[in-house]
Every structure is written in structure tokens, then in C-alpha cells.
Structure 1
């Protein structure tokens, strides 16, 4: 008998079906050891840290040890990222006394073929990944434990400060200030409405007037005039398909299209992964394996026709991207979850994956220049488009906005000519999804932290959700102001990105973790 250790009970049940007899499959249910809850747990001079068993995990590891004694080999298959590697390390560290044949395996989709391949490519614990988790955990603990009490004392209320949550909160607060400081600005445009061959369209004089009185002389010149088509041009344009989902893009779309919170979206994706429907849902990569690209391209050809087949794609990934990971994609296309919300999420991921490998959307861009006969020096512009080939938009409901056939020299009588008032709008508050996408663009946070980040901001009453958007509370605004004055590095977007990049350097084996943590926390914390 062999022992396989994973994190999730659902994942354990799924894998057990594949492995069958001759295997024990057990779940750790998350981390087994961590820093103590009620003390710093880190020596500020040496950065040595103390870990304790997470509640209930000593008993679990003792049970695993009894099985490990009897097992031929032990395989640790926790999640394929730095958190999963750290869990694997602590499990290995506890079980190594009971069995000398302990191996680490990693896979990104729960399929028999993927597990078989992982078993064949068994390895030792990747200590660089473990050290990067140590660094992340210790750095977060130092920042939280050394600054939170000071902030709580100064602000006379309980405050919790976080390495990633603080700049995220700053984004939300700054957006609110932009909204409050926005001054409405009115602009005026002269427009003409035409109808030809049953198609109604508008043409606009591309000049902004600041006051209605400034526009009136021009409006009076053209309001009763006939218009002549000066030119009508068409141009074919190809619009390439979107990339498949990484975590940030998935969370944004699940929030926007399905109305899911970041927490709900991440939990549903994790469950689909554990049940074997999709690949690992915490990834910053857009890559699809060559084997899967061929499979999906064949499916597109068989289902939608050869014309809809795109080309195999390679994506330029950001620096420090986890290149071993793939995008979030289906493991198979002939599977369908039974639960409604799971099915909605699976369909969202399936459609985006197929779209990413489909042919371009080809449109005909149309542009017309119309001039009033009463003032031929004024040129009104009308634009439209029509779809020549839907390509990847076959899943969307794209409505053409085509102009009617127009020829140079045609004379048209407008149905009406009017002055349109346009009032500038303030920027919108972030949704949970757009906040995550903004953080990703700034290089702040990582796929494994997005869910807890937004959850923390809400649970600590730093933000509230109003009409699906994030609004800072008075406490949140006070905290950002305090940090900006006293610990500006902690809410500096560039410095937070630097911290993330440095943690990635540890993962790549290019920096000593203690040296780096000391450097970063002293820069961040010392006033």
C-alpha cells in the first residue's frame, strides 16, 4: 500500500477514484503548522521563527504517521504553489521519522493521466518555494504585529495593518476622493439624425463647445440645411480573440458576468478543480499546453466548422510568472457539473478557453463624412460597423451598428439637427473584480492572496459594498491617511510590487530569504 497526502477532502475523494486499490489517500485540510496566533513568534535579530500545530492537526499527523509506517512510499500532492509546498514541507518534516521514501509530486489538473505523470516525475521538496513562503509569512507577520499595535494606539481603535491590503485600501480610498473631487463639466455637440433605407444613424460635428451660446451660430447655420455625402469609406479590421483566463481575469469576469464575490468565485473554481473539471485556479499564466491546444482546436473544428479554428497561441508572460502553470481551463470538454453555480462557472471558463483559440472577429469599419450645403466647411462624421465573420464572438451577442449604403454626392435631409449636452462623469468605484485586476496590473498580490485580500478589507470594516461596488468606510479612510503620514512605504504601490518581486526571487533561488526579509521589513517599518 502507498500513501498519498493532499489538502482537500474533495480532492482526496476524486483522486481515490482514479488510484483505486493499493492506495491510502488523506487530506490535511489546509496548513498543518503556522506561526503562533497570540505572539510575534519571530526573533527580530535572527529572524528564526517558531511554528505550532494548527488546531487539530497534531492528531491528524499522528494518524498519518501510523499509516506512513506501514506504507511502501509516501507521496505529498498538496497544491502546486508556495503555500502548497510549505504544507508539503511540514508534512514531510513530521513523517520522515516514520518512512524514508517520501516524495513530493505536483499536478495542475486532477486527471488519471496527470497524476500518473506526476508520480513518474516525483521529486524532493523544493526548498526555494518553501523559503519564499517562509519569507512571505514572516514578512506579513512582522508588518502586522509591529505596526498594528502602534496604529491601534494612535488611532484609539483596533487596527490591523497588512502588506497587500494596505495599498489595496489606498486604491479604494483614492478612487473615492476622485469621485468626491470631481467637478461636473458640461460640453455641447451638434448632431444630425438621418434615415436611409430604413436605417437611422447619427453624424456629429467633431467639435466640443463649452457653452450652448457658442454653438448656437453654427446650429442655426445647419439646422434647416440639406447634407451631402462627401466621402464614405470602409475598411476591414480583424479583432483577435481574448486570452484564456488567469486568476485575476477570471475573478473579474465571474464578478461582472455572474455577480459572484471574489470569495465565491474562488471557492467555486477551487471545487471544480478538486472535482477534476478544471485546472488549478490560482495562476498568473495564460499558457495552454500544446496537447490541449490541439484537442480544443479539433473540438472547435468539429463543433463550429473549420472556418472558426484559430491558431495555436503563445503568450508573453509577465516577469516571474509561474511558467509551469497553465491558464484556468477545462480538463475535458465533455464534462458538465451538476450544480447550477458550478455549471455557470465551468461554462464561463470553457467559453473563454475556446474563444482564445478561435478565428478572429472580422468587421467592416465604416466612416462617412457629411457636409451641410449651407456651410460646406463644417464636416460631420458618422461611424458604424458590421460583422463580416463572427469568429470568436459566436458566443457573444454582438449587435452590428452599420451605416446604410452611402455614395459620394448623395443628398440627405436630416430628420433633426440638435445640440446634445454631455456631462462628464466621475470614475466609478471599484468592484471586487476590477480591484483585483487593477492590483494585478500594478504587480501587487498574487493569485493565492486575492480572495483573502478582499475578504479582509470587508471583514475589518475598512470597506463596505454598495450596489456591488467597494466604498471605503471612515475607518478605512482614516487608516490610509495614518499610513500615508507615518508608514508611506507600506502604501506605496511601487514598493509593494518590489516586495512581491523580491519574494519571487527567493522562489527562483536568487536571494537568501532572511537577508531579504530583513531588508524589506526595515525599509517598510522604520520611520
Structure 2
């Protein structure tokens, strides 16, 4: 008998189908140990963490030990990231007391081939990954436990929290709101002419911008009862490249927008799809795709859409760690999919995005037309249009064409205006963040990692720092006070570049280039420097 251990019952059920009767598959139901809830759990001098059993997990692991004692081999198949490696580490620590034949099985999709290969290529625990998780957990605990009570005292409000990633994310939202509040709308005016030719309506605009409508009136009088002549027609072809396949940030952003769900809901559904064997691991910052799978998808495109829709597997510039075994988020197979509901909708979004990323570019023809009134050649008006010559990836991804096509126009054409008028326009403030756009900004700035995006947004809502209004994140009054206080007292913590640099340091621990305690101490001292100087 062989024993295979994973985190979730769903994952265990999916994997047991591939391993046969000589295997037992067990689930830990997530982490088995963590820092204590009601105390710091870290020695501030040595940074040695004190991990304790989570509720009910000691009994669960004792039951697994009884099975492990008689197992020929034990395989730890927890998630292929820092958190999963830490779970495997604690499992090995406990199970090795009864059986030393323990191996780490790594896989990024739950298919028969992937699971069997993971067993064949099983190795030892990656302590660099474990230490990176220790560093993250200890840092988050030290910062949270040291700074949060200061917030409670300063703002006389309990339940407030400070976080290594959470607080800079809140700063983004608050600073955007301050921009909106200080924004002063300004009106300006253009002269616009509406035309119609061959049943197609279009408009042309005089490029001069007027501060007041009265400034445009003299020009408007010149245009009364005049005809227009087409002065020049210029056409250009442009290429619209296919989108990249999904990584965590882009899936959360696009999924949230298209399915009208929170990013934490999107991540939860994606995790379930992974555990049921429908998609690859959903916490990744990579756009890389397995070449064999890419060729399989390309063959599907050719068969179902035609050779002209076939693109290629592209290489994208990625972060240092993205070149590892992690892939983009893609279907494990196009032959099986969820039966119905929101799982099916998210699966179809992922599969269509995957296929679109491997398909051909769309081809767009842009038309630029200049016109002038016959009565005054100096007044030049411009019209622009777009025509989709070939839909390419847009057909596969289900993207509707939004460009407006101009009628066929030729130099010298005489046109009679349908309407000549002054159009009022207004400058607009920057929009509030949505959950999806916040995640994209965090990724762009290097703040947080795929495993933390959904948690960050969820925490900001749970703490009462933001409210969701019409799909946008609006900071509450307490959020302004928290950000102002932290910016004054702990500028290092709130600095975007410093926060991104912290993530890079954790990555260096993961690569085995830096000692986790030295890095943790360095970051801790820097962040807490202002506090210790008080």
C-alpha cells in the first residue's frame, strides 16, 4: 500500500481515480500548523517561529500516521508553491517519526499523466520554498502584531489591521479617491458636423478646442447652408495581437469583470476547477504554456475555425521565477468540461482565452478623412473610422467588434451636412479601482504575489476599509485616517517600491540565494525603524 497526501477532499477524490486500488489518498484540509492566534508566536531576537497545531489537525494527522506506519512509500502532493511546500514540510516532520520513506510529488494539473509523472519524479522537500513561506509568515505576523495595536491606540478603534501588502494596497485606493475629490471638471467645446452617405451616418470634427461656446459661434455662422468637400482619404492597416493566456492577476481581473464576481470568488471557483482536474494550477504569474498542449490546442483551432485562424505559441517576457515549471492557467483538456453553472462559465472563459492566445491576429483597416466647407478651405474637419477586415482571435474569444465604419468616400466627394452644432465635452476624473483593476495594478507594481491578491481585497472589505459601490472600491472614512497615520509614522511600509522590493527578497530566499532570517530581520528593522525611534 502507498499513501498520497493532499490538502483538499476534492483534490483527493480526483487523484484517487488515477492511482488505483493499491493507493490510499488522504486530505489534510489545508494547513496543519500555523503561528498561534492569540500571541506573537515569534521570538523577536532570533526570529524563530513557534508553530502550533491548528484546531482538529493533530487528531487528523495522528490518524494519517496510523496509515503511514505501514505504507511502502508516502507521497506529499500538496500545492506547488510556498504554502503547499510548508504544509508538506510539517507533514514530513510528523510522519517521519513512523516512516522515513517520504517523497514530495509536484504537479501543476490533475490528470492521469501528470499524477503518475509526479510519482515517478518525486523528490525531497524544497527547503528554500519552505523558508520563503516562513519569512513571509513571520514578517506578516511581526508587522501586523507590532503596528496594529498602535493604530487602535491612535485612532481609538479596535479591529483595525496593518499589513505588509494590505496597507500599500489601501494607499492606492485612498490616493485615487483623493485625486477624484480634488479633481475639478472643466468643460470645453468643439464644432461637429453630422453626415450621411449610402445610408451610413458619420461625424467630422473641427480640431480647434474652444473654452466657451461663444468663441465657436463665429465659425458656426460661416458654416451655415454650406456644402462640404472630401479633401483627402487615407487608409492604414493595423494588427491587433491576440491576448496573453491567463495568469492569476489577469484571470481575477477579467473574470471579475465578465462574470460580475469578486476576485476572491473567481479564485475560489478556479481552485475548484483545478482540484476537479479541469484547469492547471490557478496561482501563477507565468504566461508559459506546455508546447505539447499548445500544439493540441492549435490543432483544435485549425479543425474548428480554419487554418487562417491558426497562430503560434509565443514567448513572453516574464519575471525571474516565472521561468520555473509553473504554466499559465489553461484547460487540461478541451474534451471534458464542467456540466453547468458558474464553474462552466469560468472554464469557458479560460479555454476561450487559451485558444485566443494561440490564434491569429485580427486585421483592422483605419480610415482617416479630412473635409472642408466649400465656402472656406481653411476650416478643416476630420473623421475617423475602423473596419474589421479579419476577426482572427476576436472570433474565438467572443470579442464583439466596436469600431465604427465610415461609408466609402473618395477625394472630391461633395456632402451635404445633416447637422452642424457645438458639442460640449467635459474632462473626467480618474475612475475608482474595481477589484480587478486593483489586482492588475498590484501586479504591475510588484506588490503581492498570485496567492495573495484575492486575500488582500477580501481583507480590505472585511476590515471596513472599503465599500463596494457600483462595482468600484470606495474607501471609508477610517481608511483615510489609517493611510494618513501610516504614511506619517511608517513611510517605509507604505512605499510601493519598498514593498515590491520585499517581494523580490522573498523570491531570493525561494531561489536559495539569501538566508531567510537575515532577510526577515533586515526588512523588519527597516519597517519598524520609525517605531523604535519614537
Structure 1 contact 228–409 (Cα < 8 Å) conserved: yes
Q: Which runs of 5+ in 1 are unaligned?
A: none
- 5 Å-filtered alignment, 1:21-32, equals 21-32=21-32
Tell me the residue number matched to 1:434. 437
Match of 1:15 in 2: 15
User: Which residue does 2:478 correspond to in 1?
Assistant: 475
* Deviation string, structure 1 residues 455-504 (Cα, Å, up to 9, x no partner): 11111111111111111111111101110111111111111101111101
Structure 2 equivalent of residue 517 of structure 1: 520
Distance 1:322 1:445, change over 3 A: farther
Deviation at 1:326, TM superposition (A): 0.6
Partner of 1:317: 318
Secondary structure, counterpart of 1:30 in structure 2: coil
CA drift of 1:219 comes to: 2.0
Cα RMSD of the aligned pairs, angstroms, is 1.0
Deviation readout 1:353-411 (Å, 9 max, x if unpaired)? 01000111011111111111222112111111111111011122214411111111111
Question: Is 1:333 aligned with 2:297?
Answer: no
Quote the Cα distance in structure 2 between the aligned partners of 1:12 and 1:229: 70
Cα deviation for residue 224 of structure 1 reads 2.7
SS in structure 1 of the partner of residue 69 of structure 2: helix
SS at match of 2:195: strand
Distance 2:293 2:63 in 1: 39
The residue aligned with 1:58 is 58
Quote the offset at 1:232 in angstroms.
0.6
Which residues of 2 match residues 215-226 of structure 1 at below 5 A?
215-226=216-227
Could you say which residue in structure 2 is the equivalent of 1:362?
363
Partner of 1:396: 399
Q: 1:427 to 1:348 in 2, by over 3 A?
A: same
SS at 2:123 equivalent = coil
TM-score of the superposition, structure 1-length normalised? 0.99
For 1:128, the equivalent position in structure 2 comes to 128
The 1:400–1:49 alpha-carbon spacing in structure 2 relative to 1, beyond 3 Å, is closer
Q: Counterpart of 1:270?
A: 271
Measured in 1, the distance between the counterparts of 2:225 and 2:175 equals: 48
Task: Number of aligned residue pairs: give it.
Answer: 527
Tell me if the contact between 1:189 and 1:419 (Cα under 8 Å) persists in the aligned partners. Answer: yes
| Structure 2 residue aligned with 1:504 | 507
Whole-Å Cα distance in 1 between the matches of residues 110 and 208 of structure 2?
A: 58
Match in the other structure for 2:416 = 413
Equivalent positions of 1:166-205 (< 5 A) are 166-205=167-206
Kept after mapping to 2: 8 A contact 1:284/1:322 = no
Pick one of 450, 454, 471 that aligns with 1:451. Answer: 454
Q: What residue number does 1:230 align with?
A: 231
1:308 corresponds to 2:337: no
Return 498-507 or 316-325, whichever deviates more: 316-325
Question: For the residues of structure 1 that align with 2:81 and 2:225, how far apart are their CA atoms?
Answer: 69
Report deviation, 1:207: 2.1
Give me the whole-angstrom Cα distance separating, in 2, the residues matched to 1:58 and 1:119.
26
**1:339 shift after superposition:** 3.4
Pair 1:286 & 2:280 matched: no
Give the TM-score of the pair, scaled to structure 2. 0.97
Whether the 8 Å contact between 1:107 and 1:115 is mirrored in structure 2 is yes
Q: Which runs of 4+ in 1 moved over 6 A?
A: none
Q: Which runs of 5+ in 2 are unaligned?
A: none
1:322 shift after superposition: 5.5
- The C-alpha deviation readout for 1:495-514, integer Å capped at 9, x for no partner, is 11011111011001111110
Question: Which residue of structure 1 aligns with residue 71 of structure 2?
Answer: 71
How does 1:486-497 map onto structure 2 within 5 Å? 486-497=489-500
CA apart distance, 1:295: 0.3
